[in-house]
Amino acid sequence: MLTGIIGAGALGLYYGALLQRGGNRVKFLLRRDYQAITEHGLTVKSINGDFHLSKVEGFADPAAIGPVDLVLIGLKTIANDRMVGLAAPLVGPDTAILTLQNGLGNEEILAEAFGADKVLGGVAFLCSNRGEPGTVHHLGQGKVALGEFTRGLSPRAERIASVFSAAGIPCLAVADLAKARWEKLVWNIPFNGLSALTGCDVTELLSHPPTRTLAADLMAEVIAAANAQDPTAPIDADPFTRAMIEATDAMDHYRPSMMIDRQEGRPLELEAIYGIPIKLGKEKGVSLPRVEMLHALLGMGESLKETGS
Amino acid sequence: MLTGIIGAGALGLYYGALLQRGGNRVKFLLRRDYQAITEHGLTVKSINGDFHLSKVEGFADPAAIGPVDLVLIGLKTIANDRMVGLAAPLVGPDTAILTLQNGLGNEEILAEAFGADKVLGGVAFLCSNRGEPGTVHHLGQGKVALGEFTRGLSPRAERIASVFSAAGIPCLAVADLAKARWEKLVWNIPFNGLSALTGCDVTELLSHPPTRTLAADLMAEVIAAANAQDPTAPIDADPFTRAMIEATDAMDHYRPSMMIDRQEGRPLELEAIYGIPIKLGKEKGVSLPRVEMLHALLGMGESLKETGS
């Protein structure tokens, strides 16, 4: 499966490297790592064992990549205004486009530009970050749930999932992509935002009883919004919330990506993770006062950066 | 009117100095400023004109003060566990006790210890801070609204208000002290907390549309809780909120006291300004999700300080 990677950050480099090691031809659109990777290859330092790809097809210009079987999009959502232009040269008549970006609203942009039937989305549970140019670190997890933007289990989604799984990326095709995205938001909305806002990791947030309660209250709002989107089956709020909190209790002082982004002065993916979910919830009459408040407070920090305060 | 000042911080020193200059005998319980004031007197640097009191009756031990006509309490509410012990030696059969502390729950402690009929409370709109020992700075405003803890306009409250006014402290006796306290909370709850949490002053908070909306939403929750406490007349939510926001628009980059406390690492008055108002609102069935969230987030910072993180 010829795959083109758009947005070769920590996620794109890691999954692309696994696909290539698994025998697939992979073409990477590179920016920061272009020189290092085209000259010296790509090194993966992984909890599952390190490996090095000495020959990697890296490109600075998407037009030089040309049509592929699968476009894998790992761009930060804050770069979504450039997404269609970057992906377009890779899209031929039979190309599938898979976005593994955070939050909501990404598939819609691709569907509008390329047609809904070309688009798949997935949620990635991956802990990785970039090292020096040419090196990516895989710190934990890695599984993917993917599905058609137009819903339903398709042979195409199953085929991509089996290629991923064969390459060492645990992957499941799901019929209800939107529900999978919302389920991930049930965790991301409280823990990304609260950690970015307070500078506290998940263990600190959960050890203070009022913020532990707040995390659960935020989850309840997200689940109510999720269940108002006409999912194939509703999320069962109490057990799901309990399971999410318990799973987070087991994460020893984990620092969510948005907390790290804020601490390192990078822009936050507020629209995909907060703005669009809030809008979709409110369109269905669901009130999300706490999620809106968290969005407002996080946006205050972004607004200060923009004005240089 | 022989007045004893308990809690001679910026508020107690400023109002005590004005009362003394106005011809009243004032005894100050002092701690940090004891030596400076008993040796060299008390200097007030005020926007209304500086003045110096060369002879000030300062005490290190409340027992040496003895019974007074009026005990004026300006302690930070975080020191309320010491309040009754500090005030007791000043309380005789005809003593009135007036707390000008922030938030709710202070009169109740005094009423429990000394009897409800001895207790008055007031809200002070004062911008002042302490300088070097022996000096207090008056930066703006200063008016007081005071009333009986047991409600109703009393001759005693009117008398105290006229003594204050004659001494240069603009003061009004009000029949509904609780309502006056809640009206002040309508401002304090959003702006103290949001500024302490984000490090943004009121102008920054109001210039970011989502936090401007959030401030108004917080005010609406506080007003709903206030109006559920059986006030003599309800707060008219929309015009009151609009007036508060407009008044705050006029405050040029004002930094609320809680923001300064947080920046200087001092403990915050969370129980008086958040904990008790939330409890009273919920007891009346009023939902305050945003106020509770703000309280939880502010408490997270306090909890980190306690553990030394």
pLDDT computed for residue A306 by the predictor:
62
Q: Is the pLDDT score of B308 beyond 60?
A: no
Cβ separation A211–B296 shorter than 8 A:
yes
Identify whether the C-beta of residue A73 lies closer than 8 Å to the C-beta of residue A83: yes
Phi-psi region of B17 (alpha: psi -120 to 50; beta: other; left: phi over 0): alpha
Q: Is the pLDDT score of A77 beyond 80?
A: yes
Joined tokens for residue B163 = 């003594």
- In three-state form (DSSP H/G/I as H, E/B as E, the rest C), the secondary structure along chain B is CCEEEECCCHHHHHHHHHHHHCCCCEEEECCCCHHHHHHHCEEEEECCCCEEECCCEEECCHHHCCCCCEEEECCCHHHHHHHHHHHHHHCCCCCEEEECCCCCCHHHHHHHHHCHHHEEEEEEEEEEEECCCCEEEEEEEEEEEEEECCCCCCHHHHHHHHHHHHCCCCEEECCCHHHHHHHHHHHHHHHHHHHHHHCCCHHHHHHCHHHHHHHHHHHHHHHHHHHCCCCCCCCCHHHHHHHHHHHHHCCCCCCCHHHHHHHCCCCCCHHHHHHHHHHHHHHCCCCCHHHHHHHHHHHHHHHHHHHCC
Catalytic residue among B76, B143, B184, B279: B184
pLDDT computed for residue A307 by the predictor:
57
pLDDT above 90 coverage of chain A, percent: 92
Residues 6 or more apart whose Cβ sits within 8 Å of residue B121: B98, B99, B100, B106, B107, B146, B147, B149, B177, B181
For B110-144, what is each residue's pLDDT tens digit? Answer: 999 999 999 999 999 998 888 999 999 998 889 99
**B262 to chain A, minimum CA–CA distance in Å?**
13
- Domain boundaries, given as residue ranges, for chain A: 3-175, 179-307
pLDDT computed for residue B274 by the predictor:
98
- In degrees, to the nearest 5, what angle opens at C-alpha B232 toward C-alphas B287 and B175? 125
Which chain A residues are Cβ-neighbours of B196 within 8 angstroms?
none
Cα separation, A89 vs A85, whole angstroms:
8
Cα separation, B160 vs B84, whole angstroms:
22
pLDDT computed for residue B303 by the predictor:
77
pLDDT computed for residue A211 by the predictor:
97
Cβ separation A205–B297 shorter than 8 A:
no
Cα separation, B233 vs B230, whole angstroms:
8
Cα separation, A132 vs A122, whole angstroms:
27
Residues 6 or more apart whose Cβ sits within 8 Å of residue B228: B281, B284, B285, B286
The arithmetic mean of pLDDT across residues B143-154, rounded, is 96
> Cα-flanking dihedrals φ and ψ of residue B44, to 5°?
-110, 120
**Residue found under tokens 């369109």:** A283
CATH domain A179-307 topology: N-(1-d-carboxylethyl)-l-norvaline Dehydrogenase; domain 2 (1.10.1040)
Cβ separation B300–A213 shorter than 8 A:
no
Residue B214's pLDDT band (boundaries 50, 70, 90)? very high
Which of B191, B205, B214, B287 to probe by mutation at the A interface, max A CB count within 10 Å? B214
Q: Is the pLDDT score of B251 beyond 90?
A: no
pLDDT computed for residue A19 by the predictor:
98
The arithmetic mean of pLDDT across residues B276-303, rounded, is 96
Cα separation, A146 vs A160, whole angstroms:
9
The arithmetic mean of pLDDT across residues A264-275, rounded, is 96
Identify whether the C-beta of residue B195 lies closer than 8 Å to the C-beta of residue B169: no
E strand intervals along A131-238: 135-148, 171-173
Verdict on whether the full-model pTM lies above 0.80: yes
For B26-71, what is each residue's pLDDT tens digit? Answer: 999 999 999 999 999 999 999 999 999 999 999 999 999 999 999 9
Question: Matching CATH topology for A3-175 and A179-307?
Answer: no
pLDDT above 90 coverage of chain B, percent: 91
A:B CB pairs within 8 Å: 72
DSSP letters spanning A251-266: STT---HHHHHHHTTP
Cα separation, A263 vs A259, whole angstroms:
6
The arithmetic mean of pLDDT across residues B155-170, rounded, is 98
Q: What is the ipTM of this complex?
A: 0.87
Residue B309's pLDDT band (boundaries 50, 70, 90)? very low
Q: Is the pLDDT score of B78 beyond 70?
A: yes
Q: Is the pLDDT score of A202 beyond 70?
A: yes
Asked which of B41-50, B146-155, B199-208, B251-260 is least confident by mean pLDDT, the reply is: B251-260
Q: Is the pLDDT score of B278 beyond 50?
A: yes
* Average model confidence (pLDDT) across chain A: 95
Asked which of A12-16, B72-76, B142-146, B254-258 is least confident by mean pLDDT, the reply is: B254-258
CA dihedral B275, B276, B279, B282 (to 10 degrees): -100
> Is position B27 annotated as part of the catalytic site?
no
* Average model confidence (pLDDT) across chain B: 95
Cα separation, B57 vs B50, whole angstroms:
20
Q: Is A116 helix (H, G, I), strand (E, B) or coil?
A: helix
Cα separation, A96 vs B63, whole angstroms:
84
Q: Is the pLDDT score of A309 beyond 50?
A: no
User: 3.30.300.30, 3.30.565.10, 1.10.150.120, 3.40.50.720: which CATH number matches A3-175?
Assistant: 3.40.50.720
Residue A302's pLDDT band (boundaries 50, 70, 90)? confident
CA atoms within 13 A on the CB side of B141: 12
For B173-208, what is each residue's pLDDT tens digit? Answer: 999 999 999 999 999 999 999 999 999 999 999 999
Which chain B residues are Cβ-neighbours of A294 within 8 angstroms?
293
